[in-house]
Amino acid sequence: MKDDALKLKVKQPPKTSAGVHAVTNALRHLYGKMGPIHATRGLLALNQKGGIDCQSCAWPDPEHRTINEFCENGAKALADEGTKKKIGADFFAEYSVSDLAAFDDYWLNGQGRLTEPLILREGGTHYEPISWEDAIRMVAGKLNSLASADEAVFYTSGRTSNEAAFLYQLFVRQFGTNNLPDCSNMCHESTSVALAESIGLGKATIRLEDFEKTDLVIVVGQNPGTNSPRMLSSLAAAKAAGAKMIAINPLKEVGLTSFVDPNPQHGNVFGVLGLSPAKLADLHLPVRIGGDMAVIKGLMKILLEREQLSRGSVLDQEFITANTVGFDEMAASLDAVEMSDILASSGLSREQLDTAAQMILDARSFITCWAMGVTQHTDAVATIQDIVNLHLLRGAIGRAGAGLCPVRGHSNVQGDRTMGIWEKMTPVFRENLEREFGFAAPSKDGLNTVESIAAMAEGRAKVFFAMGGNFAAASPDTDAVSAALANCDLTVQVITKLNRTALTPGKTSIILPCLGRSEIDIQAGGEQFVSTESTMLNVQMSKGIFEPISEHLRSETWIVCTLAYAVLGGRSTVDWAAMAADYDMIRDAISRVVPGCENYNERIREEGGFYMPNPPRARRFPTAAGKALFTASPLSTVELPPGRLMLTTIRSHDQFNTTIYGLDDRYRGIDGHRRVIFLNRGDIEKYGLKPGQNVDITSHFEGVERHVSGFSVVPYEIPADCAAAYFPEANPLIPLGSVAKRSCTPTSKCVIISVQASKG
């Protein structure tokens, strides 16, 4: 650990994002891992109509695509999946599970693709090959031996295709449980809960073209330069068309301030040859971690004050009267909040809020984008509902250039939920599913991610099955989740790469290696394609172009069908073999079950695919009241006891969640090291620390302490009392019991910590 720290170099963060560096970095990853021919073919197919839907994020593709419609991090994701390196029986004979567990995530990922099914037998020390037949038979046997279907948990990560996701939830429900936790539980669940209640749909209300029609974009708690780089093109296009931009973020992220389009084909909007930097944010509000609700309430309070001074100048009264309920209660709840509390909680000045409020008043239409900086907080649901309130005040929803834009993470996390991956079900979905397949779906809600961990720890759940993802590393409270997995009789993962979860196994552990999205999928019925839904509700096909890296890989869809048949046999009404042979059969079923997917097979073949229904976009709000809902909530502030800091956990520029591509974070000036803690210079001094010093971090929650060690102090422009460290290295600090109200999302962005000089 110490040696590692010596490799850390801290530089001045760059002044612009993307640009030529992004291109050279993308090419280094691609050519290095895939070779020139593969790399070029892959890039030409990425995000093209009929090509591969990029694995890296859920940002939609523009209507008119250039031939290089990808970004640096999309290229890294493609290279990571398309790597020529692979690991098989020899590798696993050489390294025991405990040998492998001693390596870091960067090394594990770097070993290459999994190539054959593997089993770690009870009491065994090494994974060893197993045939598909035996692996499936073992999993089915174990599932069928359980006293109740609720003793199994079926996790999904957001890369799974619509087709695989639909069949997976069908299998799980026919098996008899709703235990379908997913990565969304840790991600945008707060958004889904908030928006479903406030506007009747838990998704974005805008489309890509709205960026060119808007006057103002507000980006809250999101780092698009790293996590949805193609969004920078939309932000730059908005700016080029005259829009303003506000960034609300404790960090001054480079991607939010300035952008050089690496793709000259995007036209001249960014200046000569597309190489002069576009200034993005006009106003940066360096909010204290967790202070976003205060910011939004502050803005609304100022708007209502202005309205009182000059009636009709602020509120869109016509919209409010015709389309909303609850205005009076919301306004009264704002009256009860003191501006001094808002300023203290946000860490901002009245002037800063006035400037932002004026920018909103000057804008006829505005878009608000948000991501994890908002959703992973105790009061995330109420904060997102305040964002909705702000839009409703101005009627800034359901018209050109105005609306809500939660930016989803995984490339198909939204589609998976549309396809029924959820521990709950809407009445319509249940009714359609039961009718289509002639069975009674389980009536009790299932377990979400955090509840699943508790169930495994207590022995109520005995089998953990994962369709993708890296549950052990992505979940909060790493030690608790590892112990919970170890308590299972069987853990099974359908994955592409070796990961931490495979190394924190249950008593028996099975790895089922699957095709990646970039690989050709041939089934009995010929070559197949799949489909995904972007964060703006566009459903599109995705088709692999590379020969699979091993002949022993199977598609996720095939794995679900084969397992379902082995488990359910004659109990199931589904023709699993036919579904596995021809994915059109799956899409036909989807078209009859999922509202908005009618004629799926026809419409998915149209150029650019189709859009899911979006009633709020047309100012129809299918809520209980039939109108958009103003919601009232008190100002919530997290109290920070003396001697404590508020830690947020963030992604570097060189990772995709728990997949670590490299040890640098170019946009924040970090080189060669991930165990760093970003601290305000004043706090470094206050706690008697020094830049570069080795420290241990302790989190404090309900009297329990959790620890990590060997972190290096990095001075950074971050508000006082705030700190940031990378996910997943900081996950052992995140208390399992600390979750957002109503969405149960782990509060990964507000962990109360103290920092101590390292003892070692």
Ligand X SMILES: Nc1nc2c(c(=O)[nH]1)N[C@H]1C(S)=C(S)[C@@H](COP(=O)(O)OP(=O)(O)OC[C@H]3O[C@@H](n4cnc5c(=O)[nH]c(N)nc54)[C@H](O)[C@@H]3O)O[C@H]1N2
467 binds ligand X (CB under 6 A): yes
648 binds ligand X (CB under 6 A): yes
610 forms beta bridges with: 539
Length of the chain in residues, anyone? Answer: 760
- Shorter beta-carbon distance to ligand X: residue 187 or 755: 187
d(C-alpha 150, C-alpha 179), whole Å:
7
Residue 495 tokens read as 């994955």
516 binds Mo ion (CB under 5 A): no
Q: Which amino acid is at 156?
A: T
Minimum gap (Å) between residue 409 Cβ and Mo ion? 3
Coil, strand or helix at 438: coil
Question: Which span sits near Mo ion by CB under 5 A: 64-72, 407-415, 589-597, 688-696?
Answer: 407-415
User: Of 566, 507, 509, 563, which Cα lies nearest the Cα of 117?
Assistant: 509
Question: Which span sits near ligand X by CB under 6 A: 179-187, 384-392, 439-447, 596-604?
Answer: 179-187
Question: Which span sits near Mo ion by CB under 5 A: 202-210, 295-303, 402-410, 566-574?
Answer: 402-410
d(C-alpha 333, C-alpha 111), whole Å:
55
Minimum gap (Å) between residue 183 Cβ and Mo ion? 6
532 binds ligand X (CB under 6 A): no
With vertex at residue 147, the alpha carbon angle to CA 142 and CA 148, rounded to the nearest 5 degrees, is 95
Minimum gap (Å) between residue 688 Cβ and ligand X? 26
645 binds Mo ion (CB under 5 A): no
What is the footprint of ligand X within residues 666-705 (CB under 6 A)? none
d(C-alpha 269, C-alpha 646), whole Å:
40
d(C-alpha 217, C-alpha 280), whole Å:
10
- Shorter beta-carbon distance to Mo ion: residue 167 or 187: 187
Strands annotated E in 358-485: 366-370, 403-406, 463-467
Minimum gap (Å) between residue 431 Cβ and ligand X? 30
Angular region, 314: left φ>0, alpha ψ -120 to 50, beta rest: alpha
253 binds ligand X (CB under 6 A): yes
- Shorter beta-carbon distance to ligand X: residue 239 or 749: 749
Give the x/- contact pattern for Mo ion in 303-332, rule: CB under 5 A: ------------------------------
Residue of 112, 409, 420, 469 that binds Mo ion (CB under 5 A): 409
Minimum gap (Å) between residue 56 Cβ and ligand X? 5
170 forms beta bridges with: none
Cβ neighbours for 402, distance < 8 A, ≥ 6 positions apart = 206, 210, 214, 365, 366, 367, 391, 394, 395, 396
222 binds ligand X (CB under 6 A): yes
- Shorter beta-carbon distance to ligand X: residue 82 or 158: 158
Residue 560 tokens read as 């679900």
- Shorter beta-carbon distance to Mo ion: residue 499 or 633: 499
DSSP 612: P
Residue 217 φ then ψ, to 5°: -120, 125
Residue of 187, 217, 723, 740 that binds Mo ion (CB under 5 A): 187
Minimum gap (Å) between residue 58 Cβ and ligand X? 7
- Shorter beta-carbon distance to ligand X: residue 301 or 749: 749
Strands annotated E in 298-410: 324-325, 366-370, 403-406
294 binds ligand X (CB under 6 A): no
516 binds ligand X (CB under 6 A): yes
Q: Which amino acid is at 294?
A: A
What is the footprint of ligand X within residues 556-615 (CB under 6 A)? 556
Residue 136 tokens read as 């499936």
- Shorter beta-carbon distance to ligand X: residue 146 or 194: 194
User: Of 575, 576, 539, which Cα lies nearest the Cα of 557?
Assistant: 576
| Position with the least CB separation from ligand X | 409
Residue 725 φ then ψ, to 5°: -145, 165
494 binds ligand X (CB under 6 A): yes
Residue 684 tokens read as 């470094």
Cβ neighbours for 214, distance < 8 A, ≥ 6 positions apart = 238, 243, 363, 365, 366, 367, 401, 402
What is the footprint of ligand X within residues 397-416 (CB under 6 A)? 409-410
Count of residues that interact with ligand X, criterion CB under 6 A:
61
| Residue 270 and residue 260 in contact, taking contact as beta carbons nearer than 8 Å | yes
Question: Which span sits near ligand X by CB under 6 A: 13-21, 369-377, 398-406, 593-601?
Answer: 369-377
373 binds Mo ion (CB under 5 A): no
Residue of 56, 174, 491, 712 that binds ligand X (CB under 6 A): 56
245 forms beta bridges with: 217
State the binding partner of 470 from Mo ion, ligand X, none, CB within 5 to 8 A by kind: ligand X
Helix H or strand E encompassing 523: strand 521-523
Task: Give Cα 532 to chain centroid, integer Å.
Answer: 15
Minimum gap (Å) between residue 598 Cβ and ligand X? 27
Minimum gap (Å) between residue 112 Cβ and ligand X? 11
244 binds ligand X (CB under 6 A): no
Task: Give Cα 491 to chain centroid, integer Å.
Answer: 23
Cα torsion angle, 10, 11, 17, 20, sign: negative
Strands 751-757 and 610-611 turn out to be unpaired
Minimum gap (Å) between residue 175 Cβ and ligand X? 19
State the binding partner of 159 from ligand X, Mo ion, none, CB within 5 to 8 A by kind: ligand X
553 binds ligand X (CB under 6 A): no
d(C-alpha 620, C-alpha 112), whole Å:
49
Question: Which span sits near ligand X by CB under 6 A: 35-43, 206-214, 452-460, 464-472?
Answer: 464-472
Q: Which amino acid is at 183?
A: C
Question: Which span sits near ligand X by CB under 6 A: 222-230, 231-239, 257-265, 357-365?
Answer: 222-230
Coil, strand or helix at 284: strand
Minimum gap (Å) between residue 158 Cβ and Mo ion? 7
- Shorter beta-carbon distance to ligand X: residue 372 or 590: 372
| Residue whose pair of structure tokens reads 């296009």 in the numeric block | 237
159 binds ligand X (CB under 6 A): yes
Residue of 139, 183, 456, 586 that binds ligand X (CB under 6 A): 183
HEC profile of 24-57: HHHHHHHHHHHCHHHHHHHHHHECCCCCECCCCC
Measured distance between the N- and C-terminal CA atoms of the chain, rounded to whole angstroms: 11
Minimum gap (Å) between residue 263 Cβ and ligand X? 17
Minimum gap (Å) between residue 253 Cβ and ligand X? 5
- Shorter beta-carbon distance to ligand X: residue 323 or 345: 345
Minimum gap (Å) between residue 228 Cβ and Mo ion? 11
| Chain residues in the site for ligand X (CB under 6 A) | 56-57, 73, 157-159, 183, 186-187, 220-223, 226-228, 248-251, 253, 287, 289-290, 292, 371-373, 376, 409-410, 467-471, 474, 494-497, 499, 514, 516-517, 556, 648-651, 655-659, 727, 730-731, 734, 748-749
Residues that bind Mo ion (CB under 5 A): 187, 409
